[in-house]
A = this chain, B = another copy of it.
Amino acid sequence: MRLRRFTLIVIFIIVLTGAVAAQTSDPLPSWNDGATKSAITRFVSRVTRDGSSDFVPAPQRIAVFDNDGTLWCEQPVYFQFAFARDQIRTLAPKHPEWKSKEPFRPLLQNDLKGVLASGEKGLLQLVAASHSGMTTDDFARSVTDWLATARHPRFNRPYDSLVYQPMLELLAYLRANGFKTFVVSGGGIDFMRPWMERVYGIPPEQVVGSSGVTTFARKPDGSTALIKQAKVEFVDDGPGKPAGIHRFIGRRPIFAFGNSDGDLQMLQYTTAGDGPRLALIIHHTDAEREWAYDRKSPIGKLDKALDEGQANGWTIVDMKSDWKAVFPPEP
């Protein structure tokens, strides 16, 4: 009988310790306590509490995240543009005509201003030239190789290590609470998928992005390939984001997170649905640890969405004060 009582006490202690540990372990340790963090945790409690009027069944707990400037950095240029630049340089010897053709000329001369002067159209041309004429498998390999070797100019770290630690914690926290997490980005879908499962835990089928046309090819030996064409299929930015969400996901999200005017319509679409909704915007306010930019930035411009977010009571994340850490420790 002594033994049984002792056993019971041991079990009791184990259970109690577990409960205390569960209660005290913070799922968002890189977020400072305050209004922002509690807006997130309160929302998650509301929608996951069975029996409450705000309960949302798990299949409808769709959370969407912009990528550039929301999950990883986007300065001094979109990382995909840095990739495109490096690819164009690699391909240049095969294209002598680029030396005198905009926007290739300024790019090959390291003239960033000249490249930006070509506007969005010029950037799209560079992306098209560096993202087509190969198989999707070869392209995925070139992305993986580039991430393994290229270094960010300011931090001298691999680009895919410049992801936001608080956001990695948030993704995991939402998934632990039955959410399905999606990326909805203006970036190229084939550029994002090769690394997002490893880095964010988001599988390829939950990555929505811009895309070019691919065509199916089959060789006499039976092997098959998809060839990337220099023709835009879908631009997943601005009003394209709700369209992309509808096309790929087919449900209106209940949780959306962005950082720029390109996310405005996604945030509008998410919050216009019935029931509990949470919209968040990262305000880049930390020039020391990352960057400070908003209304006048050519990259990641946050102007209309900031006004609308403030007017509508969306949660504005102040990077400087809300985040205890910005990046994960260097590997």
Using a CB–CB cutoff of 8 Å, the interface residues on chain A facing chain B are 59, 136, 180, 189, 193, 197, 203-207, 211, 213-216, 218, 222-224, 226, 233-234, 239-240, 242-243, 246-251, 265, 268-269, 272
Contact = CB atoms under 8 A, between A and B. Distances in A.
Nearest to A140: B250
Nearest to A212: B247
Contacts of A268: 218, 222, 224
Given A203-B250, A205-B250, A223-B272, 17 more contacts: A59-B197, A180-B205, A189-B247, A189-B250, A204-B249, A205-B205, A205-B248, A207-B250, A215-B243, A216-B239, A216-B265, A218-B265, A222-B272, A224-B265, A224-B269, A224-B272, A226-B242
A60 to B, nearest CB: 10
Contacts of A214: 243, 246-247
B226 A243 contact: yes
A203 B265 contact: no
Contacts of A207: 250
Given A215-B243, A216-B265, A193 B250 contact: yes
Nearest to A247: B211
A235 B246 CA distance: 17
Contacts of A215: 239, 243
Nearest to A203: B59
A255 B222 CA distance: 17
B242 A224 contact: yes
A215 B213 CA distance: 20
A226 B246 contact: yes
